[in-house]
Amino acid sequence: MKPLILASTSRYRAELLNRLRLSFSSAAPDVDESPLPGEAPAALAQRLAGAKAETVARQFPGSWAIGSDQVAELNGQPLGKPGSREVACAQLAAMSGHEVLFHTAVCVSDGTTHHQASDLTRVRFRALQTAEIERYIDAELPLDCAGSFKCEGLGITLFEAIENSDPTALIGLPLIKTSQLLRQAGYQLP
């Protein structure tokens, strides 16, 4: 079997991939994550997942690379990783009382063959007060997470409901889809 490389330095994605009990290494994909003019959030996630996998697969010939990307969408507009406390507070305030879509795409590529899939998660945020947003941001510092929260931690308290077909997708790597793609690439999983 070809070596497997996670095209990401995200510890969240590495922790998820470890659940599949496959040996893998990680490499940082050098990909510009800027959206193209008029690019829909779902298309952006799919394009970036593919670009990450292909870039890393080309860096390591003879390997399979897994690329994944997640884009949050509020009222048709993409929300990126906040990067700062102020942006995180503003994102959560904007999402308060609304439904937010999370498009999570995954691609498994050896540089020439590509297997790709995506998952959609709907999150309904409860009405949030400014003080609780600030307490949450200070407690968990989700500055590197699309949508400014960590659903595997305290972020779950911000929601009224989550609707999806794969609970791991919201964390950043949809393992159900990833398992299917790895089987297509020849990996043996239970």
The single residue listed with the structure tokens 């496959």 is 22
Q: How far is CA 155 from CA 12, 66, 87, 152, 158, in A?
A: 14, 26, 16, 7, 6
Which one is catalytic: 30, 32, 69, 166? 69
**Which two three-digit tokens encode residue 157?**
């308290």
Give the pairing type, strands 77-79 and 114-125: unpaired
Of the candidates 78, 55, 66, the residue with the CA atom closest to the CA atom of residue 25: 66
What whole-number distance in Å separates Cα of residue 38 and Cα of residue 56? 27
* 119 carries an active-site annotation: no
What are residue 104's DSSP bridge partners?
70, 119
Chain mean position to CA 127: 24
So which residues are the catalytic ones?
Answer: 69
